[in-house]
Amino acid sequence: MLIVSACLSGSLCRWDGKSSLDPDIKRMVESGEAIVACPEVLGGLTVPRDPAEIVGGGGVEVWEGKARVVTKSGRDVTREFMAGAKKFLELARKNGATGAILKEKSPSCGLTCHPDGTFSKSYRPGPGVTAALLIGEGFKVSSQ
């Protein structure tokens, strides 16, 4: 069993109210090979919402207390991102998932994300908050 980023299965849960539909992922979910969840929504954030980036590092540094997640308008949403990641992990375990396929270039799900808080177009390697938690807990994590 896998857990996948909900937006990849067609769920309209992205910050801009859209999905990032991947037909192969959708098929996996429909055939019962994967469950879906959105960490940011699990953490209590709305759809749509202000886009956010990690400032001061990546997801690993967020868990170490060295970096924060901040929205474009300056709201600190670190607590929501961490809470959503923990719920995502809990859901994965409850459903017997041992691996994850996550949406790339997201401060939650990405294996690469924006670790500089500048909302530029450049990405650097480094997992987002949820990806970092899952990797640390021994999950096999890949991007779509």
Footprint of ligand SF4 (CB under 6 A): 5-7, 13-14, 38-40, 103, 106, 108-109
Instruction: Between 37 and 67, name the residue whose CB sits nearer to ligand SF4.
Output: 37
Nearest approach in angstroms of CB 76 to ligand SF4 is 17
Q: Tokens in use for 39?
A: 């960490």
Instruction: Between 13 and 97, name the residue whose CB sits nearer to ligand SF4.
Output: 13
d(CA 55, CA 69): 6
d(CA 130, CA 3): 12
Nearest approach in angstroms of CB 13 to ligand SF4 is 5
Instruction: Report the SS3 class of residue 136.
Output: helix
Nearest approach in angstroms of CB 64 to ligand SF4 is 21
Count of alpha carbons within 13 angstroms of residue 21, beta-carbon side: 8
Neighbours of 43 (CB within 10 A): 23
Instruction: Between 78 and 106, name the residue whose CB sits nearer to ligand SF4.
Output: 106
